[in-house]
Amino acid sequence: MAKQYIYIVQALLEPSKCKIGKTNDLERRLNEYNKMTGKSKENIYQYLFTCEVKNMTELENDIKEKYSILREEKSKEIYFYNSELFKQYVTFIQAHKMFVKEIFIKTDDKKQIVKIVKRTTPSLEERGISRKEVLQKAQKINNDEFYTKFEDIEKELSMYDKSIWKNKTVFCNCDDAVDDNRKNTSAFALYFLQNFKELELKKLICTHYSGPVDLFNQGAKGYVFTKEGFREFKEFPKNYTGSFDDPLSLKILNEDADIVCTNPPFSRAIDYWEITIKSGKQFIIISNITNPITPAFIPYFMNNEVWAGYNRVDYFFNPKKQLVDASGHWYTNIPIKDRPKYKNLKIIPLNDIPEKYKKYDDANKLVVSNCYIPNDYKKPFAVSARPILNGLLEKGYKIILNTQYFPYENGKKCFGKVLVQKI
């Protein structure tokens, strides 16, 4: 009796679709696909998964029924594809009573077809830029290329009520690639792709910034990746840079996005905060841990337009995928419930604060440290960023100076602080 097979096949140029079918001859079937279809010669079909089964018709019918909503309306043969859906198809087939054995399954390490294109490199002069400009750009990129670990995103986002995501459009506007095999995908994009259903998201939009590959002003290559329901697609709008302040990114921010979530470039943090906060949208973002005592950001904390998220972030990946330390913290304008770090605040009478943690500076201003906070002191006093990150402003205190405060001790300038006062 002829052998029976179930397969998942995909055309190279149609990565958001696949076909699931049955056959008695895998090789012949693939040849048929490659002869009869294809938008171009390059649109080659390849198997993603094949297996031997006892009854291909029964199994195929069960797949059709189980995944009816993942089939295209017109061509019932076409199923939506992304790596999460692929895993689901394969798991279902493997667990089916008619499954016999796997023959082939696609691994993540797809062979890359590399075209060698002969080209001559234009000189800096031809590109109209100086060596200094290139070096400056490269320097900026180095400072910005810190990638967030998946675990850090999971740790922070799992703290928020799941309902905040329901039917919402999440915008990751500094999140480089959504790579086909997900290997080079930003952990933010990956987190939302993997949890899309669980969080009941409406849409995910990630934008790819062309900057890092544009050291030599070769032109904009930014793109917009969108996932809406089961559909995933990438668009490369003309002249789009992918920068968070590109007109198209601003349009998405203002007209489409509900919640912005990313780790933006440290070197552009001031502009990024201004744009994001002005948009009035909800956000959960990573930024420098010292922002609560940095002049450009203090007014946002003072005006209650932003507050600390739950966690600090101490390690990031560099482009070589090595862990590097850089002191980051989550910030948000979404309500924080029972902030666990309140317990780090030691709010007690001034007299009970140990001497070494309370001082008066040359201007006779009280300066407290180690998260000690007086609860019976009516005048302004200076604190570091830590109490603010631990939720001091939610405990009946306010910032009263919209810039940094530098205490002087015996004429010596000390670390910058922020001035707060009991309400």
Closer to ligand SAM by Cβ: residue 30 or 224: 224
Nearest C-alpha neighbor of 339 from the set 393, 258, 397, 263: 393
The conformation of residue 15, written as its DSSP 8-state character, comes to T
Binding to ligand SAM in span 241-300, by CB under 6 A: 242-244, 262-266, 268
Closer to ligand SAM by Cβ: residue 18 or 193: 193
Token representation of residue 314: 């101490």
Least distance from C-beta 371 to ligand SAM, angstroms? 28
Is 187 among the residues that bind ligand SAM (CB under 6 A)?
yes
Closer to ligand SAM by Cβ: residue 156 or 176: 176
Q: Match 């100086």 to its residue by tokens.
A: 130
- Which value, to the nearest 10 degrees, does the dihedral of the CA atoms of residues 390, 391, 395, 396 take? 120
Least distance from C-beta 262 to ligand SAM, angstroms? 5
Closer to ligand SAM by Cβ: residue 21 or 212: 212
Is 175 among the residues that bind ligand SAM (CB under 6 A)?
yes
Is 225 among the residues that bind ligand SAM (CB under 6 A)?
no
Is 389 among the residues that bind ligand SAM (CB under 6 A)?
no
- Interface with ligand SAM (CB under 6 A), residue total 23
Binding to ligand SAM in span 189-218, by CB under 6 A: 209, 211-212
Is 147 among the residues that bind ligand SAM (CB under 6 A)?
yes
Closer to ligand SAM by Cβ: residue 144 or 232: 144
Is 188 among the residues that bind ligand SAM (CB under 6 A)?
yes
The span of 11-19, 181-189, 350-358, 369-377 binding ligand SAM (CB under 6 A) equals 181-189
Alpha-carbon span 28 to 6, nearest angstrom: 13
Alpha-carbon span 224 to 100, nearest angstrom: 41
Contact 225, 232 (CB under 8 A): yes
- For the chain, report the end-to-end CA distance as a whole number of angstroms: 85
Least distance from C-beta 209 to ligand SAM, angstroms? 3
Least distance from C-beta 110 to ligand SAM, angstroms? 23
414: amino acid identity, one letter:
C
Contact 156, 310 (CB under 8 A): yes
What kind and span of H or E run contains 58? helix 56-66
396 sits in the region (left: phi over 0; alpha: psi -120 to 50; else beta) called left
Is 185 among the residues that bind ligand SAM (CB under 6 A)?
no
Site map for ligand SAM, 313-332, x if CB under 6 A?
A: --------------------
Alpha-carbon span 188 to 173, nearest angstrom: 10
Least distance from C-beta 253 to ligand SAM, angstroms? 12
Closer to ligand SAM by Cβ: residue 226 or 384: 226
What kind and span of H or E run contains 136? helix 131-144
Closer to ligand SAM by Cβ: residue 11 or 187: 187
The span of 30-38, 169-177, 231-239, 276-284 binding ligand SAM (CB under 6 A) equals 169-177
Closer to ligand SAM by Cβ: residue 266 or 342: 266
Alpha-carbon span 134 to 140, nearest angstrom: 10
Least distance from C-beta 230 to ligand SAM, angstroms? 25
In 26-98, which ranges are E strands? 45-53, 78-80
Closer to ligand SAM by Cβ: residue 38 or 212: 212
Least distance from C-beta 325 to ligand SAM, angstroms? 14
Alpha-carbon span 126 to 67, nearest angstrom: 55
- Cβ neighbour number for residue 351 with a 10 Å cutoff: 8
- Cβ neighbour number for residue 301 with a 10 Å cutoff: 25
Angle among Cα 296, 301, 306 to the nearest 5 degrees reads: 105
Site map for ligand SAM, 107-146, x if CB under 6 A?
A: -------------------------------------xxx
Q: C-alpha distances in angstroms, 259 versus 73, 248, 280, 286?
A: 31, 17, 10, 14
Contact 385, 404 (CB under 8 A): no
Least distance from C-beta 82 to ligand SAM, angstroms? 20
Closer to ligand SAM by Cβ: residue 47 or 146: 146
Least distance from C-beta 214 to ligand SAM, angstroms? 10
What kind and span of H or E run contains 103? strand 99-105
Residue numbers at the binding site for ligand SAM (CB under 6 A): 144-148, 174-176, 186-188, 209, 211-212, 242-244, 262-266, 268
